[in-house]
Copies of this chain bind each other. A is one copy, B any other.
Amino acid sequence: MVTLDFDKMNGLIPAVVQDYKTNEVLMLGFMTPAAWTATLSTGKATFFSRTRKALWEKGKTSGHVQLVKEIRVDCDNDTILLLVEQVGGAACHTGHRSCFFKKIENGAVKIIGKPVFDPREVYHK
> Which residue numbers of A lie inside 8 Å of B, CB to CB?
1-2, 8-9, 14, 16, 18, 22-25, 27-28, 50, 70-77, 79, 81, 92-94, 96, 99-104, 107-109, 112
Q: Report B-chain residues with C-beta under 8 Å of the C-beta of A28.
A: 14, 16, 74, 79
Quote the shortest CB–CB distance from A55 to chain B (angstroms): 18
Quote the shortest CB–CB distance from A119 to chain B (angstroms): 11
**CB distance A74 to B18 under 8 Å?**
no
Q: Which residue of B lies closest to A51 (CB)?
A: B8
Number of copies: 2
Q: Which of B50, B75, B107 interacts with A96 by CB under 8 Å?
A: B75
**CB distance A104 to B18 under 8 Å?**
no
Quote the shortest CB–CB distance from A9 to chain B (angstroms): 8
**CB distance A74 to B99 under 8 Å?**
yes
A–B Cβ pairs within 8 angstroms, 29 of them: A1-B104, A1-B109, A14-B14, A14-B28, A23-B23, A23-B25, A25-B25, A25-B81, A27-B74, A27-B79, A28-B74, A28-B79, A72-B100, A72-B101, A72-B102, A72-B104, A73-B100, A73-B104, A73-B109, A74-B102, A75-B92, A75-B93, A75-B96, A75-B99, A75-B101, A75-B102, A79-B99, A79-B100, A81-B100
